[in-house]
């Protein structure tokens, strides 16, 4: 007989929002890259010559760079959310921090996919990273019962 398990799903919303952001950037990248590649006769995902990706216009390269970024730090976000959920350690602080992380990642993506001013992009990246670090600290705190 299986025991009934109650799972706090408070972190599911922020995870779905982050996943939605990833797909939105993917679609935006697709709309920027495909027409350019067709015009230049390149195969998407497999440029014919070395350095082709570096020679792409900013409007195409920026979303590509952002899509790669969405496969880096957010992995730690998904991990902390899943560990907290499975361990039954979700609390209001973690949920609030998760939404802060996602909000600033949305801003980061907007900045990087459009005008890409590094000082602006770094500022929101830094804030999202601090939120993520505090999530991990909070999770350890909850786990150890401190």
- What pLDDT, in 10s, does the model give residues 104-131? 999 999 999 999 999 999 999 999 999 9
User: What confidence tier does 48 reach under pLDDT thresholds 50, 70, 90?
Assistant: low
Residue 3 is assigned to a structural domain of this protein: no
Determine the structural domain holding residue 62 and report its residue range: 12-144
Residue 5 is assigned to a structural domain of this protein: no
The CATH number of the domain holding residue 24 is 1.20.120
Residue 105 is assigned to a structural domain of this protein: yes
Residue 1 is assigned to a structural domain of this protein: no
Q: Is the pLDDT at 2 greater than 60, yes or no?
A: no
Q: How much is the pTM?
A: 0.88
Buried b or exposed e, range 109-146, using 16+ CB within 10 angstroms = bbbbbeebeeeebeebbebbbebbebbbebbeebeeee
User: Residue 14 and residue 101: Cα distance in Å, rounded?
Assistant: 9
């Amino acid at each position: 007989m299986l025991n009934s398990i109650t799972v706090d799903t408070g972190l599911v919303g922020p995870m779905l929002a982050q996943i939605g952001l990833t797909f939105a950037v993917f679609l935006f990248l697709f709309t920027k890259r495909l027409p350019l590649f067709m015009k230049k006769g390149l195969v998407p995902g497999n440029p014919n010559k070395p350095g082709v990706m570096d020679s792409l216009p900013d409007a195409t390269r920026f979303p590509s760079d952002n899509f790669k970024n969405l496969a880096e730090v957010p992995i730690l976000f998904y991990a902390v959310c899943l560990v907290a959920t499975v361990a039954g350690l979700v609390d209001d602080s973690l949920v609030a921090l998760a939404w802060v992380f996602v909000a600033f990642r949305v801003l980061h993506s907007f900045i990087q996919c459009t005008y890409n001013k590094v000082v602006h992009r770094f500022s929101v990246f830094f804030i999202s990273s601090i939120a993520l670090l505090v999530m991990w600290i909070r999770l350890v705190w909850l786990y150890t019962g401190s």
